[in-house]
């Protein structure tokens, strides 16, 4: 495994390259992914992770491309939750709600990056009260890249007092190449019989509903674009898919298949496994006019990439029927995501 480092002011980029020349590039800004170069069915390498030309443009970008959002990924209703009898108020940055821990969240911090064995580890310490969250939290994200073109991500965190936490990776993928245009012809399959209906601000209602008979049914493979324009509340609210699915047979700390994404022309396949209970699918419905210049010099358009965000459930602190995202002192939060790249 070859490791290269580059610097852009305070930002450090690490590139992990395997024996075949495939690689993953990671940034200390947001502990994020800025590029993944993998072969197509003819062996031609291309970058399949959406990202920007200037490493500094990842700071406070609307799409949150490739980064680690936190302290709580996804949305919390009205930015409020109650813990140990005390109500906490978080920043409001997504309509009436808090999303990804606020604009000052983990995704917009410079993490400390260092080599550990066969990977790169990023560390960040969040102070008690940062963005309104209780307790000091030490978080770490470790990336490993191997000769099988697997990018394994380990998230861990500890706290000095009771708090909430939900970490994921927010990479957007286009398996034809990051600048190839719409992903609506990509085929997606999800290991999920159920999903979380939301209100019109994308906050879960608390219901866990069956996908059968709805455009949310990806139990058998279908293109992202097949049903995306259906007259269905969830698709109207998000202008496309921006929803959370509940993974089948989830057991704490056990890896399970979450998703399979296939590209029709390149023959690339992405398999996703995780220990997380749910997966948020977001089809980049608001890219147009909101993304910085990309690595090839243009801005992205709507639906140019799809995010497959394995995570705890959105607004879980306000829904007792969702798996708990509470982290107490003396406990260790640990979750894994594996992005496995293959070809037909």
Provide the pLDDT for residue 7.
84
3: pLDDT strictly greater than 80: no
Q: 100, 170, 186, 319: which one is catalytic?
A: 170
1: pLDDT strictly greater than 80: no
Of the candidates 69, 30, 33, the residue with the CA atom closest to the CA atom of residue 311: 69
Q: For 54-95, how does the pLDDT look when each residue is reduced to its tens digit (9 = 90+)?
A: 999 999 999 999 999 999 999 999 999 999 999 999 999 999
Give domain limits for the chain.
2-343
240: pLDDT strictly greater than 80: yes
**What is the dihedral sign for C-alpha 227, 229, 231, 233?**
positive
4: pLDDT strictly greater than 90: no
Provide the pLDDT for residue 29.
98
* Mean of per-residue pLDDT scores for the chain: 97
Q: For 275-324, how does the pLDDT look when each residue is reduced to its tens digit (9 = 90+)?
A: 999 999 999 999 999 999 999 999 999 999 999 999 999 999 999 999 99
Provide the pLDDT for residue 195.
99
5: pLDDT strictly greater than 90: no
H/E/C letters for each residue in 175-218? CCCCCCCCCCCCEEEECCCEECCECCCCCECCCCEECCCCCCCC
Range 2-343 has CATH code 1.25.40.10: no
Phi/psi of residue 234, each to 5°? -60, -40
Enumerate residues 6+ apart whose C-beta is below 8 A from 231: none
Q: Which residues pair with 7 in a beta bridge?
A: 12
Active site residue 178: no
2: pLDDT strictly greater than 80: no
Q: For 121-132, how does the pLDDT look when each residue is reduced to its tens digit (9 = 90+)?
A: 999 999 999 999
The burial of 251, by beta-carbon neighbours within 10 Å (0-12 exposed, 13-18 middle, 19 or more buried), is given as exposed
9: pLDDT strictly greater than 90: no
CA 324 from centre of chain: 19
Contact 32, 337 (CB under 8 A): no
Provide the pLDDT for residue 173.
99
Provide the pLDDT for residue 120.
98
Q: For 121-180, how does the pLDDT look when each residue is reduced to its tens digit (9 = 90+)?
A: 999 999 999 999 999 999 999 999 999 999 999 999 999 999 999 999 999 999 999 999
Of the candidates 171, 153, 182, the residue with the CA atom closest to the CA atom of residue 35: 171
CA 264 from centre of chain: 23
DSSP tally for the chain: helices H, then strands E: 1, 26
Q: For 86-134, how does the pLDDT look when each residue is reduced to its tens digit (9 = 90+)?
A: 999 999 999 999 999 999 999 999 999 999 988 999 999 999 999 999 9
Provide the pLDDT for residue 8.
82
Q: For 14-44, how does the pLDDT look when each residue is reduced to its tens digit (9 = 90+)?
A: 999 999 999 999 999 999 999 999 999 999 9
Provide the pLDDT for residue 140.
98
202 backbone φψ class: left, alpha, beta (φ>0; ψ -120 to 50):
left
Provide the pLDDT for residue 155.
98
H or E element: which one contains 234?
helix 233-238
Cα–Cα distance measured from residue 233 to residue 217, given in angstroms and rounded to the nearest whole number: 14
Cα–Cα distance measured from residue 70 to residue 311, given in angstroms and rounded to the nearest whole number: 11
Cα–Cα distance measured from residue 210 to residue 228, given in angstroms and rounded to the nearest whole number: 18
Active site residue 309: yes
Contact 343, 268 (CB under 8 A): yes
């Amino acid at each position: 495994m070859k490791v290269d480092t580059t610097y852009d002011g305070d930002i450090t980029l690490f590139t992990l390259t395997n024996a075949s020349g495939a690689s993953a590039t990671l940034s200390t800004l947001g502990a994020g992914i800025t590029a993944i170069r993998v072969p197509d069915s003819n062996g031609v390498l291309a970058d399949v992770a959406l990202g920007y030309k200037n490493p500094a443009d990842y700071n406070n970008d609307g799409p949150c491309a490739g980064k680690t959002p936190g302290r709580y990924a996804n949305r919390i209703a009205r930015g409020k939750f109650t813990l140990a009898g005390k109500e906490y108020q978080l920043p409001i940055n997504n309509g009436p709600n808090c999303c990804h821990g606020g604009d000052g969240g983990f995704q917009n911090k410079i993490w400390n990056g260092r080599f550990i064995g066969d990977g790169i580890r990023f560390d960040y310490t969040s102070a008690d009260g940062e963005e309104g969250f209780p307790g000091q939290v030490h978080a770490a994200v470790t990336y490993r890249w191997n000769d099988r073109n697997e990018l394994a991500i380990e998230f861990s965190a500890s706290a000095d007092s009771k708090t909430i936490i939900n970490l994921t990776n927010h990479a957007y993928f286009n398996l034809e190449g990051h600048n190839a245009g719409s992903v609506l012809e990509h085929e997606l399959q999800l290991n999920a019989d159920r999903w979380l209906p939301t209100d019109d601000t994308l906050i879960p209602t608390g219901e866990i509903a069956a996908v059968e008979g709805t455009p949310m049914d990806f139990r058998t493979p279908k293109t992202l674009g097949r049903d995306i324009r259906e007259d269905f509340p969830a698709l109207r609210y998000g202008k496309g898919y921006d929803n959370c699915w509940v993974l089948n047979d989830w057991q704490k700390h056990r890896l399970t298949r979450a998703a399979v994404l296939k590209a029709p022309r390149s023959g690339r396949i992405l398999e996703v496994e995780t220990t997380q209970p749910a997966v948020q699918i977001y089809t980049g419905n608001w890219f147009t006019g909101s993304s910085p210049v990309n690595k090839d010099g243009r801005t992205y358009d709507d639906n140019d990439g799809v995010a497959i965000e394995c995570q705890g459930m959105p607004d879980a602190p306000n829904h007792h029927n969702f798996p708990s995202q509470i982290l107490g002192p003396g406990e260790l939060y640990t979750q894994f995501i594996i992005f496995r790249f293959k070809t037909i």
